[in-house]
């Protein structure tokens, strides 16, 4: 029986007082402002950021919106993910696939602000290049939200400093059909997350527990997790559980899901579910 290391084993840092909620940077005729709804940001709760891009120069600029013109994201450098234990094969290979799928294999813990309604699972622009023009004296304002979870759809982060970065790409060109060298302007804001009292298990620890379950192991062996079938490792805030398992390939827009439910705090196996997964409702894992 695996016993995960509880998250409470890491001492909680102290949040500084009088944290700023706004930052401004200006370069090359472009001024960026970002303003947080609150700082510190409560884990598990939605926090909004307002972003303003101003052309304070004398010539038009291009910008490249992909859902949003200016991105805001940050890493918790002081609180990387715990990796869990070393499993034997094939469980070790399954675990690596699951953790790579949710971008946590290297231990990086991050938070991302996204336009309302997006989770980051399927918000890319692909090969389509969107180009817009911002004229002199004009401004663009956007609002994005952090859902209170760790990206991608993982448990709320612990109390920690976040190196929050706003980033904007632009080019000096007066028309959208003109190619010009892309430039990047970034800004940083010292931000903190006020974590919850619950000591959540990390994704690697959840995978360790789930992959020892014979029902999940049988499905992953029979269906071949790597052959187009998608891994699932998602936190459910309504039930404080993780769903861990697999979606069968080739059945869009509805796939067949085989999921183990794991308590995100205690590691208890709550149940086994086999159901239809509707990508329009459940989103991409």
The tokens for 194 are: 């006020």
Has residue 28 been placed in a domain?
yes
Has residue 94 been placed in a domain?
no
Question: What is the domain-level CATH number for residue 141?
Answer: 2.60.40.2360
Report the number of distinct structural domains present in the chain. Answer: 1
Phi, psi values for residue 221, rounded to 5°: -70, -45
Beta strands, E only, the chain? 22-27, 30-36, 41-42, 47-55, 61-63, 70-75, 110-113, 132-134, 139-146, 160-171, 183-194, 230-236, 241-247, 254-263, 269-278
What is the share, in percent, of the chain residues with pLDDT greater than 90? Answer: 76
pLDDT digits (tens, 9 = 90+) for 223-260: 877 777 889 999 999 999 999 999 987 666 778 899 99
Has residue 51 been placed in a domain?
yes
Q: How far apart are the first and last CA of the chain?
A: 28
pLDDT, position 139: 98
Give the structural domain span for 115: 22-79+109-194
pLDDT digits (tens, 9 = 90+) for 165-187: 999 999 999 999 999 999 999 99
């Amino acid at each position: 029986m695996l016993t995960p290391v509880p998250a409470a084993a890491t001492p909680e840092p102290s949040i500084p007082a009088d944290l700023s909620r706004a930052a401004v940077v200006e370069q090359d005729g472009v001024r960026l402002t970002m303003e947080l709804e609150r700082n510190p940001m409560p884990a598990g709760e939605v926090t909004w950021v307002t972003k303003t891009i101003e052309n304070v120069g004398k010539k038009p600029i291009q910008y490249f919106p992909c859902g949003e013109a200016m991105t805001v994201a940050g890493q918790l450098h002081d609180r990387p993910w715990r990796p869990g234990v070393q499993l034997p094969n094939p469980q070790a290979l399954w675990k690596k696939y699951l953790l790579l799928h949710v971008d946590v294999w290297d231990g990086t813990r991050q938070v991302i602000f996204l336009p309302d309604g997006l989770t980051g699972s399927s918000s890319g622009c692909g090969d389509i290049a969107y180009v817009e023009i911002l004229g002199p004296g004009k401004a663009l304002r956007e609002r994005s939200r952090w859902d209170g979870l760790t990206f991608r759809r993982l448990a709320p982060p612990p109390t920690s400093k976040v190196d929050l970065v706003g980033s904007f790409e632009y080019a000096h060109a007066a028309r959208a059909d003109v190619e010009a060298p892309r430039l990047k302007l970034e800004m940083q804001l010292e931000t903190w997350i006020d974590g919850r009292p619950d000591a959540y298990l990390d994704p690697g620890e959840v995978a360790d527990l789930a992959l020892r379950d014979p029902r999940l192991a049988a499905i992953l062996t029979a269906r071949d997790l790597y052959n187009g079938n998608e891994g699932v490792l998602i936190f459910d805030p309504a039930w404080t559980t993780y769903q861990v398992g697999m979606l069968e390939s080739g059945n869009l827009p509805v796939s067949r899901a085989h999921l183990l439910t794991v308590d995100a705090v205690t590691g208890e196996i709550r149940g086994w579910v086999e159901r239809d997964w509707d990508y329009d409702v459940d989103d991409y894992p």
